[in-house]
């Protein structure tokens, strides 16, 4: 069971860390002050979630300490989906990514409140309350921009078309999927994807956006199995630059 748990925790933590770093890149360049602050705040939350998950890996499952897991692993050791690795792009892409990713996160953590693995169930009860605000933020701007000007709707639709098959990579299964389900640790990626689609599709329709057709051959998998986009290594190099100046230093 420990390998199944480790795999689940690593992919969740790595997703949170990497999208937290991406969201932090809006600091100082947001399209308006409120959004500059909003993305900065959400970035802090995400990095806090990653730290909490790394802490469980360390204290309960015997992995390295959180700083080592966050800053001293190589690209191939990360299990984040490729969706979170993508550059922030224009504001429309970041809002669409937040909408798609955070809805999946909220449902995942809500499901995990019933996990048989108590440290994760307890964390999920705390974290889902924070992610509700992230989802509210994304929903608000998706609806406003989707029903705004012709340009705002077109740009949002274009970003949705680009993000759709990347976002489906969130639900890539591991070899431990059946074990997680049978041990009542997590109900599984298929159920998560089903609930996610049931939630987001009506909101997209209200926002006057068309849900892209899914082509299974175009879904971007690989991140969960250490096959990453060309964007992850430069991100890690930047994120870990200070730590790597003296890898053994105590900060």
Q: What is the pLDDT along the chain (251 residues), one digit of tens a residue?
A: 689 999 999 999 999 999 999 999 988 776 766 776 888 899 999 999 999 999 999 999 999 999 999 999 999 999 999 999 999 999 999 999 999 999 999 999 999 999 999 999 999 999 999 999 999 999 999 999 999 999 999 999 999 999 999 999 999 999 999 999 999 999 999 999 999 999 999 999 999 999 999 999 999 999 999 999 999 999 999 988 766 666 565 65
Sign of CA dihedral 149, 155, 161, 164: negative
Are 157 and 220 in contact, with CB atoms under 8 Å apart? Answer: no
| Domain spans of the chain, in order of start | 2-245
What pLDDT sits at residue 246?
60
What pLDDT sits at residue 56?
98
What pLDDT sits at residue 244?
65
DSSP 49-118: HHHHHHHHHHHTT----HHHHHHS--GGG----HHHHS---SHHHHHHHHHHHHHHHHHHHHHHTT-SSH
Answering whether pTM is above 0.85, one says yes
CA angle (25 as vertex; 7, 47 as ends), nearest 5: 35
What pLDDT sits at residue 35?
77
Burial of 90 (0-12, 13-18, 19+ CB in 10 A): exposed
CA 19 – CA 46 distance, rounded (Å): 7
Burial of 170 (0-12, 13-18, 19+ CB in 10 A): buried
Q: Of 56, 171, 157, whose CA–CA distance to 115 is shortest?
A: 56
Are 16 and 47 in contact, with CB atoms under 8 Å apart? Answer: yes
Are 122 and 66 in contact, with CB atoms under 8 Å apart? Answer: no
Which residues lie below 8 Å from residue 8, measured CB to CB, with a gap of 6+?
Answer: 120, 174, 176, 180, 185, 186
CA 125 – CA 120 distance, rounded (Å): 9
CA 241 – CA 211 distance, rounded (Å): 39
CA angle (115 as vertex; 97, 84 as ends), nearest 5: 20
What pLDDT sits at residue 184?
97
What pLDDT sits at residue 123?
98
CATH of 2-245, one of 3.40.190.10, 1.20.1260.10, 1.20.200.10, 3.90.25.10: 1.20.1260.10
What pLDDT sits at residue 240?
84
Give the number of other Cβ atoms within 10 Å of residue 19's Cβ: 28
């Amino acid at each position: 069971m420990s390998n199944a748990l480790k795999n689940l925790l690593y992919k969740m933590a790595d997703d949170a860390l990497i999208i937290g770093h991406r969201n932090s890149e809006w600091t100082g360049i947001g399209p308006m002050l409120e959004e500059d602050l909003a993305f900065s705040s959400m970035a802090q939350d995400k990095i806090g979630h990653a730290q909490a998950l790394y802490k469980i890996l360390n204290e309960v499952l015997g992995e390295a300490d959180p700083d080592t897991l966050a800053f001293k692993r190589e690209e191939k050791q990360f299990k984040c989906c490729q969706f979170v690795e993508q550059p922030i792009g224009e504001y429309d892409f970041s809002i669409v990514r937040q909408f798609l990713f955070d809805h999946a996160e909220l449902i995942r953590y809500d499901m995990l409140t019933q996990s048989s693995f108590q440290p994760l169930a307890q964390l999920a009860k705390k974290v889902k309350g924070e992610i509700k605000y992230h989802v509210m933020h994304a929903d608000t701007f998706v609806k406003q921009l989707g029903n705004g000007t012709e340009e705002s709707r077109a740009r949002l639709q274009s970003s949705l078309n680009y993000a759709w098959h990347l976002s489906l990579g969130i639900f890539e299964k591991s070899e431990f999927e059946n074990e997680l389900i049978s041990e009542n640790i997590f109900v599984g990626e298929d159920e998560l994807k089903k609930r996610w689609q049931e939630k987001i599709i009506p909101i997209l329709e209200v926002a006057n956006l068309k849900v892209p057709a899914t082509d299974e051959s175009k879904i971007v998998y690989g991140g969960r199995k250490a096959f990453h986009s060309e964007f992850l290594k430069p991100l890690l190099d930047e994120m870990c630059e200070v730590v790597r100046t003296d890898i053994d230093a105590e900060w």
